[in-house]
A and B are shown apart, each in its own frame.
Chain A
Amino acid sequence: MLEIDKLEREWLRYRLKRIKPWIFLSITLLLTVATAVWVTKSGYNSTLKGGGNEKVKIAVQTAATATDASSNVESVSATVEKESVTKSEKVVERKPKEAVSQTAPQEKETTKEQMRSAEAGEPGVILNPDTGFMESLSAPKKERRPQKVYRAVETAREETVSSSTIDRPKSSTVEKSADTETEVKKKNSENTGGSGLQILSTKTNNTLQLLIKRFNRNNDPKLASYIAQSYYKKGDYKEAVKWSVAANSLDPSGEESWLIFARAKVKLGKRDEAVKALRVYLNQYSSRKVRSYLRRLESKE
């Protein structure tokens, strides 16, 4: 005796077990992609922020040291990093050796610059915005441009909508290459399928011949419908039509034969006849399958 509830529970566990690695894999993939995106974005931002800030900082600090020469350090605003300023004070007082051990290399450089400018007493250190970082900014921008275009081309390929940002020839070449790909695939499938199909057809032919013989003996409409289906699967749509007609002449109520008839007619490019036949069937019988297929055919028209 079957314990279906137990089996159903077991099946659920089995499906979960099967799906688990895929869920784990997709989550890992998603996280990796998200991390990669975040890293590239933050890297880009840091080059933007980091490069600019340093220059601004140096400029502010040099200004501060310049004022140090004439006035006291305390007048410098609290935001100009008190630590570095005080350390630079100490360096001025003590000598650089001690300062090396206490300050970071970056700070060292800034203090040295400050010292030099202070010693030289350069009066011309004006708070002019350093535009050097603009150069560093323009470089990555140039690199990124083609990526954006590429993405745009990709989305255009997907949506098949021409975008203003896409270069016409590029998109067309992309489409062309896609077409040739499908062509090659088609050709390949034809090539590989060709020999396989031949063998299959010979095998199914034997079986079909036997089935046809059997049909001639018993005139079973279900068998005719099965033969029609077999011909349809083989791609012999004319034979499929012939056998589906045989099937529904023996049993007009069988939906399968009508459906095969309609499908084969569609394949033969006679959609109107298919629609007509299905309407005739639905006038006499009700079938959810036939109705849904008819709806599909009508929506395509």
Chain B
Amino acid sequence: MSKYRQLQNIFIDRIEVNQYIGLDTSILFYNKLQESIQKPLKMILLYGKPGTGKSVLINKIYHDTKDKRNVFLISTPIQQEEEFIKKLYTFLLPESTLPEDLTYNKFIDICNALKEKKHITVLLDEAQLYSSSMMEKIRLISDTRTIKFVVSLHKTEKEDLIAKEHFQSRIWETIELKNGTIHDTNMYVQKKLIQQNYFEIANMFRKNNIRLIHKFTKGNYREINKLMFTLFEIYDYYETNKPSKIAGSNIKNKYLEMSALKLGYINA
């Protein structure tokens, strides 16, 4: 596999905890969320635009704390109420004790009975996909104080409304994730490359390249991944077909602009 094809793989958008990039802002959010989990809160709302690193952060928190504390993750929303309740039950008690006729009301009773004995934290990723009635039930479960929920959702007007309706009185802590600054963009690109031992490639990115990347992606990590993937796709093409065009020790802005054109960030 050519060098640039391998580089494309680094920037494929996926959640891998071992590839977590500790940027200044993401470390700040990480610490904030860790502190919030330790507090006796019913619910914590984690929100932000898509691509700001919510899922990565929630996964990182889960992997770092699952052994120390009772933290559980539901990364894909479970739409069926029955399934959802069963899942929560297995977090609280051994699966072998799971009653066959477990209803929502029964589960609430179990939670109330365990109030003083057990406390767990459940991380709910992509929570905007839960229905309103399901959200209402999650809210009531949190009232028992046996299960604390960290709800991660996209920030849109609709989702803001959900947050207002269901959690306003319950949410004690909100963490809003934002796009990265130009410094974050630089560190993200550099660290991603260094992590995989591509020091020479990391050195090829100059300030003007980073400024352009930040301008096109507005510091959104998902968009940075897309842009970098396309950039290395273009470099891979030239390396195979016209290697002289990519000679030099710097990344050419031309190819960044071509990537941006392909992704529709700019128009000809």
Using a CB–CB cutoff of 8 Å, the interface residues on chain A facing chain B are 2, 4, 7-8, 10-11, 13-15, 17, 203, 207, 211, 220, 222-223, 225-226, 229, 256, 289
Contact A225 B258 (CB under 8 A): no
A to B CB contacts below 8 Å, 21 in the list: A2-B233, A2-B234, A4-B234, A7-B234, A7-B258, A7-B261, A10-B261, A10-B268, A11-B254, A11-B261, A14-B261, A15-B257, A17-B268, A203-B187, A207-B187, A207-B191, A222-B200, A226-B194, A226-B203, A256-B200, A256-B203
Q: Which residues of chain A come closer than 8 Å to B244, judged between CB atoms?
A: none
Per-residue CB contact flags for chain B residues 185-210 toward chain A (1 = under 8 Å, else 0) read: 00100010010010110110000000
Q: Which residues of chain B come closer than 8 Å to A223, judged between CB atoms?
A: 197, 199
Q: Which residues of chain B come closer than 8 Å to A10, judged between CB atoms?
A: 258, 261, 268
Q: Which residues of chain B come closer than 8 Å to A14, judged between CB atoms?
A: 257, 261, 266-268
Tell me the interface secondary structure of chain A in the complex.
helix
Question: Across chains A and B, which 4 residue pairs bring their CB atoms closest together, nearest first?
Answer: A13-B268, A226-B199, A10-B268, A14-B268
Chain A: minimal CB distance from B183 (Å): 8
Chain B: minimal CB distance from A234 (Å): 14
Chain A: minimal CB distance from B197 (Å): 7
Contact B268 A222 (CB under 8 A): no
Indicate whether B164 reaches chain A with its CB closer than 8 angstroms: no
Q: Which residues of chain A come closer than 8 Å to B69, judged between CB atoms?
A: none
Contact B257 A11 (CB under 8 A): yes
Tell me the interface secondary structure of chain B in the complex.
helix
Contact B234 A222 (CB under 8 A): no
Indicate whether B39 reaches chain A with its CB closer than 8 angstroms: no
Q: Which residues of chain B come closer than 8 Å to A211, judged between CB atoms?
A: 194
Chain A: minimal CB distance from B207 (Å): 10
Report the bound CA distance from A17 to B203 in whole Å. Answer: 31
Interface centre among A11, A14, A220 (most CB of B within 10 A): A11
Report the bound CA distance from A211 to B193 in whole Å. Answer: 13
Interface centre among B24, B187, B241, B268 (most CB of A within 10 A): B268
Chain B: minimal CB distance from A54 (Å): 61
Interface centre among A207, A211, A226 (most CB of B within 10 A): A226
Chain A: minimal CB distance from B211 (Å): 15
- Which residue of chain B has the shortest Cβ distance to A15 in the bound complex? B257
Contact of B258 among A11, A222, A229 (CB under 8 A): A11
Size band of the interface chain B makes with A = 20 to 34
Chain B: minimal CB distance from A273 (Å): 23
- Which residue of chain A has the shortest Cβ distance to B202 in the bound complex? A226
A289-B249 contact given A11-B258, A229-B203, CB 8 Å threshold: yes
- Which residue of chain B has the shortest Cβ distance to A3 in the bound complex? B262
Chain A: minimal CB distance from B236 (Å): 9
Contact of B268 among A4, A11, A225, A226 (CB under 8 A): A11
- Which residue of chain B has the shortest Cβ distance to A254 in the bound complex? B200
Chain A: minimal CB distance from B268 (Å): 4
Report the bound CA distance from A17 to B257 in whole Å. Answer: 13
Chain A: minimal CB distance from B128 (Å): 34
Q: Which residues of chain B come closer than 8 Å to A17, judged between CB atoms?
A: 268
Report the bound CA distance from A223 to B194 in whole Å. Answer: 9
Report the bound CA distance from A222 to B201 in whole Å. Answer: 11
Report the bound CA distance from A99 to B200 in whole Å. Answer: 92
Report the bound CA distance from A8 to B237 in whole Å. Answer: 13
- Which residue of chain A has the shortest Cβ distance to B193 in the bound complex? A226
- Which residue of chain A has the shortest Cβ distance to B238 in the bound complex? A4
Q: Which residues of chain A come closer than 8 Å to B233, judged between CB atoms?
A: 2
- Which residue of chain B has the shortest Cβ distance to A218 in the bound complex? B197
A203-B24 contact given A2-B234, A2-B237, CB 8 Å threshold: yes
- For residues 224 through 260 of chain B, which have their beta carbon under 8 Å from a beta carbon of chain A? 233-234, 237-238, 241, 249, 254, 257-258
Contact A222 B199 (CB under 8 A): yes
Contact B199 A7 (CB under 8 A): no
Q: Which residues of chain B come closer than 8 Å to A220, judged between CB atoms?
A: 197, 199
Chain B: minimal CB distance from A254 (Å): 9
- Which residue of chain B has the shortest Cβ distance to A203 in the bound complex? B24
Report the bound CA distance from A139 to B187 in whole Å. Answer: 66
- Which residue of chain B has the shortest Cβ distance to A200 in the bound complex? B183
Contact A225 B199 (CB under 8 A): yes
Q: Which residues of chain A come closer than 8 Å to B257, judged between CB atoms?
A: 11, 14-15
Contact of B237 among A4, A13, A207, A289 (CB under 8 A): A4
Q: Which residues of chain A come closer than 8 Å to B234, judged between CB atoms?
A: 2, 4, 7
Q: Which residues of chain A come closer than 8 Å to B241, judged between CB atoms?
A: 4
Report the bound CA distance from A4 to B258 in whole Å. Answer: 9
Report the bound CA distance from A4 to B241 in whole Å. Answer: 11
Chain B: minimal CB distance from A129 (Å): 67
Chain A: minimal CB distance from B84 (Å): 41
Q: Which residues of chain A come closer than 8 Å to B261, judged between CB atoms?
A: 7, 10-11, 14
Chain B: minimal CB distance from A18 (Å): 9
